[in-house]
A and B are shown apart, each in its own frame.
Chain A
Amino acid sequence: MIGFNNVTYTYPNGMGVFNVHLRILPGEFYFLIGPSGAGKTTIIRLIYMDMFPDRGEINVNRFSSKKIRKSKIPQLRREIGMIPQNFNLLNDRNLFENVALPLHVIGCEKKEIRDRVMSLLIEVGLEDKAYEYPRELSGGEQQRACIARGLVKDPDIILADEPTGNLDPSTAMQIMGLLERINRKGTAVLMTSHNYRLIKELGHRFIEIKNGIIQTG
């Protein structure tokens, strides 16, 4: 589903990720852990082909980083649910509109959009806040809205970049519960975190990255 084959990406300042091997199978819950600056977001960005490796090859579904044409990138991204690190909800749109955005991009009908957005807001417990604006929400609520937005088009992969990063432990656990529930329905989840304790308890497969280099497999 996602495969990294000896991938190296270097930023102009020499930082980056080096010789990364990685395989994530359909339906799997997979952790990528490491301290701040280790290269986790870099790996996420490489997966949705925001940038391309200097060496090696990345495969996501049927797309290869070596062969993909620029015009096909939107198609790849539509198959991925992104939950970005700094939850970038649009401040001038209410939650409903924020969550609906990916569905507008793929051209869903109005009724379908309504149904899917509302059912996801219910799933993340934000149905009462559908018409509120991001500013009016707590960090945890914003994070849940981001998850709803990542999930709304029913992708088979979710990339969750530190979804618990800025949250207090109990809210973090709530988010984890949500992601696990989604995973049990068959969606593969790749989640990054620097919180080792959180991960150890859950017992999912994980790899660790430090200074751009994978430590364990």
Chain B
Amino acid sequence: MSKIIYLFHEGIRYVWRHKLSAFTAIGSVFFSLVIIGIFIIVQQNSHQLIDYIRSKYEIEVFFEGNVTNEDAQLIVNQIKELDGVQSIALVTKEDALGIYQEQFDENLIDILGYNPLPNSAVINLEKHGNTEVDIGPLIANLEKIPNVDEVVYEGTLIRRVEYFYKTTIKIISYIAIGLLVITIIVISNTVKLSVYAKQDLIQNLQSIGATKRFIKTPFIIEGILEGIIGAILAIVVLFIAVRSGNTYFTDIISFKIMFDITGIIWLLGFAILIGLIGSYRGIRVLLK
């Protein structure tokens, strides 16, 4: 136990002894985690946005003219069971007539003497979370159903929204990975410098019987500490930014920007990972 405390203490000391390079490392962790944090916040909140847009996706199904209300209800029940369908509402001929009258202020029966509108149904799609919504298979299934005359949907819009969403996520991930890699390299260089600067100490330790692990541990703690310090700074800055953003923009946007514990855990996780990989890379020079 006292050994662990000692090694931890040594780790802090190593960071402190190389203030300048530690500062660089912490700074670059801070910078990339702020960017990644912004991505996480955007992602968490664009969820709210994309869910909103997706809730507007609708498919309208028109039945053949000779389908009765009872038959239409049967088909609706059948569609409800299909994959990707969240809910379905039957619009009977009579409903349609009412809607038509409301919209165009004309009574079709007065004009034509009969109701030309078919039974139809409006389908809402299931929410998919992160995955892209692909309505292709559902449309195909709908068109196979007998007595379905026409399926109407805003295919292009849905495809565009989904494509845009997908590409954005992809680009963001690439940038995030790039930043993580750069930060890992910066940390590993810091640790490497620290190892070079401590040749004396390392030789000393070896000659008095320190194990490899004893020699390595403070360097690893050094890297992880730099990661965590950078992360804490980034989290504080993001937190303040989100808070002030929420107070200033409440009138403009309808939802509150979220930066919750999940985001914080992600950032800390990244930081520890960066520190760990970075310092392991750094102490590779310490072979033998």
Binding site for B on A (CB under 8 A): 48, 50, 71, 73-80, 82, 84, 88, 90-92, 101-102, 104-110
Contact = CB atoms under 8 A, between A and B. Distances in A.
Contacts of A73: 209
Contacts, number: 46
Nearest to A113: B2
A149 B207 CA distance: 12
A107 B208 CA distance: 13
A79 B205 CA distance: 14
Interface stretch (B140-148, B149-157, B196-204): B196-204
A105 B214 CA distance: 7
Given A88-B204, A90-B200, A90-B204, A109 B2 contact: yes
Interface in B1-47: 2-3, 6, 17
11 contacts: A74-B209, A74-B210, A75-B209, A78-B208, A79-B209, A82-B207, A84-B207, A101-B208, A104-B3, A107-B2, A108-B2
Given A88-B200, A90-B200, A104 B6 contact: yes
Nearest to A93: B201
Q: Which of B204, B205, B208, B214 has the most CB of A within 10 A?
A: B208
B103 interface: no
A171 B59 CA distance: 98
Contacts of B205: 101, 105
Interface string B184-219: 000000000000000011011111111100100000
A108 B6 CA distance: 10
A105 B17 contact: no
A76 to B, nearest CB: 7
| Contact-size category for B | 10 to 19
A127 to B, nearest CB: 22
Given A74-B209, A77-B206, A77-B208, 8 more contacts: A48-B207, A73-B209, A74-B211, A78-B208, A91-B200, A92-B17, A105-B210, A108-B2
A82 to B, nearest CB: 6
A90 B204 CA distance: 8
A82 B203 CA distance: 12
Nearest to A84: B207
B211 to A, nearest CB: 5
Given A77-B208, A105-B209, A90 B3 contact: no
Contacts of A80: 209
A110 B214 CA distance: 17
A110 B4 CA distance: 12
A154 to B, nearest CB: 13
B18 to A, nearest CB: 11
Nearest to B3: A107
B43 to A, nearest CB: 45
In the A-B complex, the 4 residue pairs with the closest CB atoms: A77-B209, A78-B209, A107-B3, A74-B209
A107 B2 CA distance: 6
A78 B209 CA distance: 5
Q: Which of A71, A79, A107, A108 has the most CB of B within 10 A?
A: A107
Contacts of B207: 48, 50, 77, 82, 84
Contacts of A75: 209
Nearest to B214: A105
A64 to B, nearest CB: 17
A79 B211 CA distance: 14
A110 B2 contact: yes
A97 to B, nearest CB: 10
A74 B207 CA distance: 8
Contacts of A106: 209
B6 to A, nearest CB: 5
Given A107-B3, A110-B2, A90 B209 contact: no
A71 to B, nearest CB: 8
Contacts of B201: 90
Nearest to A106: B209
A104 B209 CA distance: 11
